[in-house]
Amino acid sequence: MASAFAAKMGFNSLMRKQAKTFNVRISTMESDLEFSCEVLDQEVPKEEPITFHFLAKFYPENAEEELVQDITQHLFFLQVKKKILDEEIHCPPEASVLLASYAVHAEYGDYDPAVHKPGFLAEEELLPKRVINLYQMTPEMWEERITACYAEHRGRTRDEAEMEYLKIAQDLDMYGVNYFLIRNKKGTDLLLGVDALGLHIYEPDNKLTPKCSFPWNEIRNISYSDKEFTIKPLDKKANVFKFNSSRLRVNKLILQLCIGNHDLFMRRRRVDSLEVQQMKAQAREERARKQVERQRLQREKQLREEAERARDELKRRLIQLQDEAHMANEALLRSEQTADLLAEKAQIAEEEAKLLAQKAAEAETEMQRIKVTAIRGQEERRLMEQKMLEAKMVALKMAEESERRAKEAEQLKQDLLEARDSERRAKNKLLEITSKAVYSPGLAPDSMPQDVSFSRENLSFDFKDTDMKRLSMEIEKEKVEYMEKSKHLQEQLNELKTEIESLKLKERETSLDIIHNQNTEQGTSKHSNFKKVTPSSAAT
């Protein structure tokens, strides 16, 4: 049903047009489709519905330069990501973590701790199972390391994150290589690798390091007869490399890949056609427009955040001033109570001093009366002198007590004056606090909160007509600094590798992992293979 519907809607013509534009392949799980034939006339599964895969057939050498349209970049990103997760492309553990962080950024955007809380990646498939099984690490530990890298990508767009993913992936040894099982003239099993740079010959158990390579610019002719395939180098003195494949259909597919990759290899090294130049110009204009729009949105976001911070600071200042006013009111009330208490004590001390003075006067009068009556007789005089002496002693004590009371009253008066002075200073401080808000220049009365009031009679301050704009002049605006630029990619990979190396399980390393580690130690990459091997070694 699915294949009949596709044929009815002109599926073949549409796919031919798309394939010509984007160098894609339409395939089922078993084989590629030929664009020159009807779908129903080809070898497709008989079950319904039929699943077709729309994939890039030829991989770009430089994804950033060659993937012009955003939709092409996104689809190619999904294809490469799936191949890495399915382990069709070997990826070392440290690169897997970094690639996973860019994949998360492409899906979720900028990292936000309030939104992206621990566990938000629990359902995501981000790492190859080989990498997960290679280390004694829990899913939470993997998520923590991926999130740490993800947080460093802040400020990138989703398209930029996808492109960073592809720029890392295109340096992997198995990126864009199509492998075919072949045999040389001696009957030895080998692997033929076809990619954007040329042809490579591998050992069956080593897909990372080729035995020899044939760059496209050094190949003169490629042909096949029946099941025998022939590669003729540009140097006529070099040996011709011949091999056999298992089926004629495989030879056809190899030849198609060779022709297509060779054509693209030469086309990349020529001036772009007018159509491609126009597409690239349109893409640049679109990226520039998006960049301007992104900067505008970023500025608006920054201004909004600054306004929110200013509002929060104003609220904080208002609460602080209200607290200060409340404390000043309480201090004033305490000062008034202290002053009243001291005034009451001073009055009591004054009354006691008056009473003591009165008693002293009475004692003096009694002493004079005794003096008058002392002349009545010697005995009486002696007795009177004794009484007079006692009266003098009592009078002296009473005078000293009166003087002490007077000094105490004087001290209380002094304390009362100091208390009243403290009360006056408290009132002045409160008036100073409120005057900053009430009489600040440039403030509009209608901008003050309606629930604030000021009364001089009861010295209660509620700040009803305080202009909050005066406070904003005291607030220093916080500046948002953009995150530092990302560190060099290799430094990130080395840091990640160093962090997780202690948890690595050596016994779970695959042969490709061991080969990759050896290549890393020797400084070998797929770009250096052309310099290390020569086509003449293929004959062996």
Q: Is the dihedral of CA 271, 276, 280, 285 positive or negative?
A: positive
Taking only the tens place, the pLDDT of each residue in 193-247 is: 999 999 999 999 999 999 989 999 888 888 888 778 888 888 888 888 888 887 7
CA-nearest of 159, 161, 169, 176 to 96 is: 169
Q: Containing H/E element for 512?
A: helix 511-522
What is residue 532's predicted lDDT score, i.e. its pLDDT? 54
| Annotated domain spans of the chain | 68-168, 176-269, 274-433
Weakest-pLDDT range from 53-57, 340-344, 423-427:
423-427
Lowest mean per-residue pLDDT among 3-17, 116-130, 208-222, 462-476: 3-17
User: What pTM does this model have?
Assistant: 0.58
At what angle are helices 489-501 and 139-151 packed, to 10 degrees?
160
* Mean pLDDT value of segment 442-468: 41
Work out the pLDDT band at 31, boundaries 50, 70, 90: low
Q: Report whether 200 contacts 213 (CB < 8 A).
A: yes
What pLDDT is stored for residue 173 in this prediction?
Answer: 92
pLDDT of 341 > 60? The answer is yes
Checking if the pLDDT of 459 tops 80, the result is: no
Residue-level pLDDT at 48: 76
Query: Given this chain, do its domains 68-168 and 176-269 carry the same CATH topology?
Result: no
Q: Report d(CA 217, CA 235) in Å as an integer.
A: 11
469, pLDDT greater than 60:
no
Phi-psi region of 463 (alpha: psi -120 to 50; beta: other; left: phi over 0): left
**pLDDT digit string, tens, across residues 34-61:** 777 787 777 777 777 877 778 888 999 9
User: CA 364, CA 378: separation in Å to the nearest integer?
Assistant: 22
- Residue 29, pLDDT > 50, answer no
pLDDT digits (tens, 9 = 90+) for 486-534: 445 666 677 777 777 777 777 777 888 788 778 777 777 665 655 555 4
**68-168 belongs to which CATH class?**
mainly alpha
* pLDDT of residue 405 exceeding 90: no
Q: Is 122 exposed, middle or buried (0-12, 13-18, 19+ CB in 10 A)?
A: exposed
Taking CA atoms, 405 is separated from 301, 357, 408, 431, 499, in Å, by 75, 10, 5, 39, 84
Tell me: the pLDDT tens digits for 85-121? 999 999 999 999 999 999 999 999 888 888 888 889 8
pLDDT at 472: 44
Kindly tell me if the per-residue pLDDT of 269 is higher than 90.
Answer: no
Q: Check whether the bond before 49 is cis (ω within 30° of 0).
A: yes
pLDDT tens, position by position, 359-384: 888 888 888 887 777 666 666 667 76
CB 356 within 8 A of CB 405: yes
pLDDT at 19: 39
Q: How far apart are CA 57 and CA 178, in angstroms?
A: 10
Phi, psi of 234 (to 5 degrees): -65, -35
- Enter the DSSP assignment of 6: H
Q: What is the pLDDT of residue 26?
A: 53
Report residue 481's pLDDT band, with 50, 70 and 90 as the boundaries.
Answer: very low
Q: Could you tell me which CATH class the domain 176-269 is placed in?
A: mainly beta
Query: One-letter amino acid identity for 170?
Result: Q
pLDDT of residue 168: 94
Q: What is the pLDDT of residue 488?
A: 55
Q: Which amino acid makes up residue 261?
A: N
Buried b (16+ CB within 10 A) or exposed e, 450-471: eebebeeeebebbbebbbbebb
Other beta carbons within 10 Å of 276: 13
* Cα–Cα dist 175/196, whole Å: 10
pLDDT of 16 strictly over 80: no
Which pLDDT belongs to residue 486?
43
Q: Are 33 and 48 in contact (CB under 8 A)?
A: no
The secondary element (H helix, E strand) that includes residue 242 is strand 241-245
Q: What is the mean pLDDT of the chain?
A: 77
- DSSP for 125-170, written as a single string: --S-HHHHHHB---HHHHHHHHHHHHHTTTT--HHHHHHHHHHHHT
Residue-level pLDDT at 207: 92
Would you tell me the crossing angle of helices 158-169 and 70-85 to the nearest 10 degrees?
Answer: 50
Neighbour tally for 55: CB within 10 Å? 16
Please give the pLDDT value at position 273. 79
Collapsed DSSP state (helix, strand, coil) of residue 87:
coil
Which residues, in sequence order, are bridge partners of residue 27?
32, 53
